[in-house]
A = this chain, B = another copy of it.
Amino acid sequence: MSVNSPNQRFLFYILLIISLVKTVVGEFDRKYDIENSEKYSHLDVTTCKLDPKLIEEIKSYQGSADKILNEITKGSFKGKSFDDMADFVDEIGPRMSGSKALENGINYIKKLLQEMKLINIDEIPATVPKWIKGVEHAELLKPKQKKLHILALGTSVGTPKDGIQAEAIVVNSMEDLLENKGKAKGKIVIFNYNKKYYDEMSAIVRNAASNASSHGAVAALVRSVTRLSINSPHTKLQRYVPGVKPIPVAALSLDDIDYLAREYKRGKKLVIRLSIEIKANTKDAVSRTLIGDWKGKSKPDEIVIVSGHTDSWNVGQGAQDDGVGIFLALETTRLLQHLDLHPKRTLRNAFWTSEETSDQGITVYFNKYRNEIEKHNVVMEADDGCFKPMGFYFAKLPEVGCILNEIAKLVPITNSTEFVLAPAIPSDLDLFVQNSTVPAVDFIGNDGRYFWYHHTEGDTMTAIDTDDLDYCLVVYATTAYVLADMEPRLPR
């Protein structure tokens, strides 16, 4: 580009600023996202005071980082993560805890670990929830006939075979529910709470059925946890409070709940017919958490875990959640093998089962390897999708964030400028945070779009961009490699 005239030069700088800003801040509004809720704090990297020797050591990985970048963006790994993940999710489909599909998926990945010649392949049995849904539908009968878009919440009981037909009331807050508790008896309660953060919405969804039931309601419907709908409902886990009668509960699309709330506010009587068929709702299904090791070159006893969870919800393909976690771990290992970047520490691939409906997948691992837990140098996961590589959650010590920041500097393409000190890591890894000194590092791939697709029919390969997935892998693989190979352990 030639920039001769002052006008052209001005335009050039304006365009440069626009492109820089768009790269740094991302294109999408992220106010809803977990890492932006008030409990989390973004590391101010200007406060970092790392040992200059450590900084020098990390800088010395520039050559390896460049190899990783080139192989993924221009070499034999270009587009490979997308294709491999598509092969997996297209064959296996959604992988609900307790389903045959999940076990097929675990077998599929086990075969990949064997092909990668990983050692110590272990299938650790886990007893997990089994919640299998049949046909569901909801229909507004009054003030007009209209199909409603629902997804039953995880662990919901079913309705009687002929469904439930009842008048509905809409409540907009906990106070609203308490004020209207006399009105809830025999009704369907529609929870139209709309909170600022995902975490707050999750808590409301989790307890909606029990809150409604304790006031005598016959069913509950909740606002989907998202800010973008296109009339798609978003499912989630709910929990019945012991001692309260379990009633059926489902998520409504934003479009439908907004409409119902408007009609209710106008004073119209709402009558809804709800039908949810539940084929299994037990806690005793058998599954497995799967691991396999690439033995470290010189510190084989020290373990770096790269991981994802194998189960998904019963809609879409479980691509962003958590195909991304699985394949960032697998492709990292395959890429480092291919480039002969054999780290000093053991790179353990771990695939937790039943993350969506229990903590059993990681618990059985933690219990079985209890004596080796403190030998883990770091546990990594991705359970936040891949839209753009945005950064990492880490727990406890700011120094861990500072080291991640130094590693990020090795990757010139990265958007990874966010290092979020998390009181609780929003994935399986939190078990390590709460029960050990092992640092947990969780990849953030959510640029504001993750919850658009999360737990919906739209969590498919279509929600993933091939190039973006490559960029996520560059950041994830570089970080995993340096952490597995650099001389000192991560501080704890």
In the complex, A229 Cα to B232 Cα: how many Å?
10
Number of copies of this chain that the complex holds: 2
Whether A90 contacts B230 by the Cβ 8 Å rule is: no
Whether B149 contacts A457 by the Cβ 8 Å rule is: yes
**Which residues from 51 to 87 on chain A have a C-beta closer than 8 Å to any C-beta of chain B?**
86
Whether B27 contacts A254 by the Cβ 8 Å rule is: no
Interface size on A (CB < 8 Å)? 36
Whether B230 contacts A452 by the Cβ 8 Å rule is: yes
Whether A255 contacts B457 by the Cβ 8 Å rule is: yes
A28 contacts across to B, CB distance below 8 A: 27
A460 contacts across to B, CB distance below 8 A: 231, 255, 258-259
Residue A308 interfacial (CB < 8 Å): no
Q: How far is the CB of A432 from chain B (nearest CB, A)?
A: 33
Residue A9 interfacial (CB < 8 Å): no
**Which residues from 422 to 466 on chain A have a C-beta closer than 8 Å to any C-beta of chain B?**
452-453, 456-458, 460-463
Binding stretch for chain B, among A17-25, A290-298, A343-351, A477-485? A17-25
**Which residues from 295 to 338 on chain A have a C-beta closer than 8 Å to any C-beta of chain B?**
316-317
Q: Mark A214-235, 1 if CB is under 8 A from B, else 0.
A: 0000000000000011111000
A463 contacts across to B, CB distance below 8 A: 255
A456 contacts across to B, CB distance below 8 A: 230-231
Q: How far is the CB of A44 from chain B (nearest CB, A)?
A: 11
Whether A461 contacts B17 by the Cβ 8 Å rule is: no
Q: How far is the CB of A197 from chain B (nearest CB, A)?
A: 19
In the complex, A229 Cα to B457 Cα: how many Å?
10
Residue A93 interfacial (CB < 8 Å): yes
Q: Mark A109-139, 1 if CB is under 8 A from B, else 0.
A: 0000000000000000000000000000000
